[in-house]
């Protein structure tokens, strides 16, 4: 009887761990953007956002850029419209990384990702070498 209770307790604790890990994974949502710019500038970015924690992670895959990237951000703005930075991806460009943003901002981006875009800047194109509207990822 005692062994059965211990086995049930261990199974229950394991189940709680699995459910907690699953809940944490579902709290993180993936957004993507195909990046296009002047001339040959092309790439893509995957952004993972967690509204519960405010954590924002990204990974860029730049196929071609005419100069060294120096900054990247999430901006508010529909296609073809410039907007303010809402989530900077660090003080300088990093191919991948994580930061935190206000939870309310992350929730708003997740609610309507098409109203936001990612922009990569360089010295030749200080207003943006390439940009792409965010879309829900797979």
**Stretch 32-61: mean pLDDT:** 97
The pLDDT of residue 6 is 60
Q: Tell me the percentage of the chain whose pLDDT exceeds 70.
A: 80
Decide if pLDDT at 3 tops 80.
Answer: no
Assigned domain for 8 exists: no
Assigned domain for 94 exists: yes
**Which two three-digit tokens encode residue 123?**
């010295």
Assigned domain for 7 exists: no
User: What is the 3-state secondary structure of the chain?
Assistant: CHHHHHHHHHHHHHHHHHHHHHHHHHHEEEEEEEEEECCCCEEEEEEEEECCCCEEEEEEEEEECCCCEEEEEEEECCCCCCCCEEEECCCCCCCEEEEECCHHHHHHHHHCHHHEEEEEEECCCCCCCEEEECEECC
The pLDDT of residue 64 is 96
Decide if pLDDT at 66 tops 50.
Answer: yes
Assigned domain for 84 exists: yes
Range of the domain at 42: 28-136
Regarding predicted confidence, which is higher, 22 or 99? 99
Q: How many domains does the chain have?
A: 1
CATH number assigned to the domain comprising residue 78:
2.60.40.200
Assigned domain for 115 exists: yes
The pLDDT of residue 22 is 40
Assigned domain for 63 exists: yes
Assigned domain for 86 exists: yes
Nearest 10 degrees: CA dihedral of 88, 90, 95, 100?
A: -70
CB crowding 45-78: b at 16 or more within 10 Å, else e: bbbebbbeebbbbbebebeebeeebebbbbbbbe
**Stretch 43-65: mean pLDDT:** 97
pLDDT tens for each residue of 9-36: 455 465 444 444 444 445 899 999 999 9
Assigned domain for 20 exists: no
Decide if pLDDT at 95 tops 70.
Answer: yes
């Amino acid at each position: 009887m005692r062994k059965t209770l211990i086995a049930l307790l261990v199974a229950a604790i394991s189940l709680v761990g699995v459910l907690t890990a699953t809940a944490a994974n579902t709290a993180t949502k993936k957004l993507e953007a195909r990046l296009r710019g002047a001339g040959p500038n092309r790439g893509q970015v995957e952004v993972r956002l967690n509204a519960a924690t405010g954590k924002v992670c990204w990974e860029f895959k730049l196929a071609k850029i005419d100069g060294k990237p120096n900054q990247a951000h999430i901006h508010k703005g529909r296609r073809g419209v410039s907007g303010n930075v809402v989530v900077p991806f660090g003080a300088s460009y990093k191919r991948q990384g994580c930061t935190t943003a206000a939870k309310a901002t992350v929730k708003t981006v997740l609610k309507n990702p098409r109203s936001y875009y990612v922009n990569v800047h360089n010295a030749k194109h200080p207003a943006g070498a390439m940009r792409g509207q965010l879309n829900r990822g797979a």
